Structure 1
């Protein structure tokens, strides 16, 4: 039973935390809701940071989850620009960086992730960037515009989603771009070689240079500024700015220091939670990038670092905090926009998990749907410049039953007719 005297504390001022607070009020909780974020900005969504806001197509305010006045109207107590330094699970308290101690009845950890750092000489130079926070995007947007005006060169470490989206944004400003990637294709560990080459071709067509099979070894500078990047195969790439886009690590320090169960880094890391997003402590929950949840549909533990997981995971955790039955079984979903290519990906098909890739449509025109199958069952689907198919793709994944690959590849066969 939840009553008005209870206090629910949310640590993390991102999308998951903001949507959790919104859901608590929408579900009728009238106790205290305290949202703590270590950034001074109001909670915001991250996709605009590498998409619309970075490219200049959208204004900064487009990233915010709610307008500033929304929090006061819904009696959400905000502590912005404040870090939480400790969680005392026995006392049911959190301690802030300024020494303030706040008691909680239920606690949600939505602490997100932080960019992985390059462990090489030269990372202290002024022209080395990461992209995770709105302040990073503010700075990088100005840098890309300057590079475009001055015919400057950006070198990116990593050909994952962030690396590719920033490459597209940089080319939009007119900057020269080189992407260094240790794998043989972009997105190799997500899409495999079958589809990774498509993204290599897309960016090459727009003037991006790739250097595959190599890693950064040093960032060379002079007078504190970037001059070049050296790689482990002896190459040197001129650079005026560098972006490290080599992934993100879940921010688990609070959970670890308080004794909550974690998942090994080799298995993806994160805070271990059950299908209701409850941690090893019944009064502590976790959602968003930091949560490694047991997935009731896929029968495995997953940590998903994408917008939809924060959007849906925060509300799911809030309902579980209120004592509602929750089985968080959303099909993983993410999207990307690069130049004139828009894509949506649903499912989970890591390398080695599938035995066939089926394509419906025309990859040459970049208008198609790709499906990853295991013994005829659809594990994942990606639609590229083909729209309004996410629902049937996810239904095929949920069905977990064999599908005729020939029918799946035949665009004249409605996807809906293949759902068992």
Structure 2
């Protein structure tokens, strides 16, 4: 069985690893701009001036596991010969015409460019208070840079923390010196010498067809663990196997020295008042602050409540 993986990111990497681990010995071709690397350090270590090796696997892994990496961008499945394919082409940051010279943060090159710009920045404005905007704000104020975080949503922190729970994260940013313009950001000129636009992403090219699977950010699920589980599940389906039951989803972030981990899905849920959330009387999500040891316990509680 000939497998092609379109896109060379985390989802494609986990798909390739799972195929080989499950005994698939047929050809695997992976198409992308460069070998897969890990993105979370881009908004963390890279913005501290560090340059860690973020490759998911060393070059020799692809040789040893007979994964044929091809540095090529594919936009037409019909140009390839395959029996089954994974579309894991990722996503591209949304830009805003109002800020033609603004930075975005998606690739290693983006992170290096932003880090270098911050060395001379006096005032950073971040348009978009989602996860990337929050993490960059944390990194910037830690460097002593005046930082303004801007969003049309008056409660953008609820997306990570759950309905009504965002005030914990808002206070964390305010206590660390981040200036917030939320809900009605047009309250005067920015006067910022560096601007980051972090208002979300658009899925890249995709395709459908028999024996074509999808994983990662191209599906609209822009979180690290989702890419892992979707890539692994796609590999099992390619081999005619049932995917393993997925644990409650985990989203995590490091901000101002606090490890935030959200287990489960708090959307449309009712807050219980202790950073836990319920839906129809059943536990649906738990948010942990500097408690990584409780992730397994939270997942077990959510499993029992399902």
Q: TM-score, normalised by structure 1?
A: 0.69
Residue 155 (structure 1) shift: 0.2
Q: Please name the residue that 2:295 is paired with.
A: 390
Q: Distance in 2 between matches of 1:315 and 1:347?
A: 19
Q: Distance in 2 between matches of 1:172 and 1:36?
A: 38
Does the alignment pair 1:254 with 2:249? Answer: no
Matched ranges for 1:245-324 at <5 A: 245-251=198-204, 253-255=205-207, 260=208, 281-291=209-219, 303-324=220-241
- SS state of the match for residue 156, structure 2? coil
Does the alignment pair 1:49 with 2:1? Answer: no
Residue 324 (structure 1) shift: 1.3
Does the alignment pair 1:34 with 2:29? Answer: yes
Q: Please name the residue that 1:76 is paired with.
A: 67
* Contact preservation (8 Å) 1:20, 1:317: yes
How many residues are matched?
306
Q: Please name the residue that 1:66 is paired with.
A: 57
* Contact preservation (8 Å) 1:304, 1:332: no
Does the alignment pair 1:116 with 2:94? Answer: yes
Does the alignment pair 1:15 with 2:10? Answer: yes
Residue 153 (structure 1) shift: 0.9
Q: Please name the residue that 1:144 is paired with.
A: 118
343 and 325 in structure 1: CA distance in 2 versus 1, 3 angstrom threshold: same
Q: Please name the residue that 1:236 is paired with.
A: 189
* Contact preservation (8 Å) 1:186, 1:199: no
Q: What is the aligned counterpart of 1:344 among 261, 272, 288?
A: 261
Does the alignment pair 1:375 with 2:290? Answer: no
Residue 113 (structure 1) shift: 1.7
* Contact preservation (8 Å) 1:20, 1:318: yes
Q: Distance in 2 between matches of 1:342 and 1:86?
A: 41
* Contact preservation (8 Å) 1:155, 1:178: yes
* Contact preservation (8 Å) 2:3, 2:82: yes
Higher alpha-carbon Rg: 1
Between Structure 1 and Structure 2, the one with more strand by share is 1
Residue 192 (structure 1) shift: 4.6
Q: Distance in 2 between matches of 1:173 and 1:190?
A: 24
* Contact preservation (8 Å) 1:35, 1:79: yes
Bigger relative CO (Cα 8 Å, ≥ 6 apart): 2
Cα deviation code 1:274-326 (max 9, x no counterpart)? xxxxxxx34111111223xxxxxxxxxxx531111112221221121111122
Q: Distance in 2 between matches of 1:392 and 1:282?
A: 39
Cα deviation code 1:85-135 (max 9, x no counterpart)? 2123xxxxxx3xxxxxx30111001112221222x33x322xx11111111
Q: Distance in 2 between matches of 1:337 and 1:172?
A: 13
Cα deviation code 1:325-367 (max 9, x no counterpart)? 22553321111111221111111122xx1223331xxxxxxxx
Q: TM-score, normalised by structure 2?
A: 0.93
Residue 397 (structure 1) shift: 1.8
* Contact preservation (8 Å) 2:11, 2:228: yes
Q: Please name the residue that 1:187 is paired with.
A: 157
345 and 374 in structure 1: CA distance in 2 versus 1, 3 angstrom threshold: same
Residue 398 (structure 1) shift: 2.1
- SS state of the match for residue 89, structure 2? coil
Q: Distance in 1 between matches of 2:16 and 2:264?
A: 27
Q: Distance in 2 between matches of 1:328 and 1:247?
A: 29
Q: Please name the residue that 1:154 is paired with.
A: 124
- SS state of the match for residue 86, structure 2? strand
- SS state of the match for residue 194, structure 1? coil
Residue 33 (structure 1) shift: 0.6
Q: Distance in 1 between matches of 2:253 and 2:166?
A: 14
* Contact preservation (8 Å) 2:150, 2:181: yes
Q: What is the aligned counterpart of 2:177 among 172, 195, 207?
A: 207
Q: Please name the residue that 1:92 is paired with.
A: none
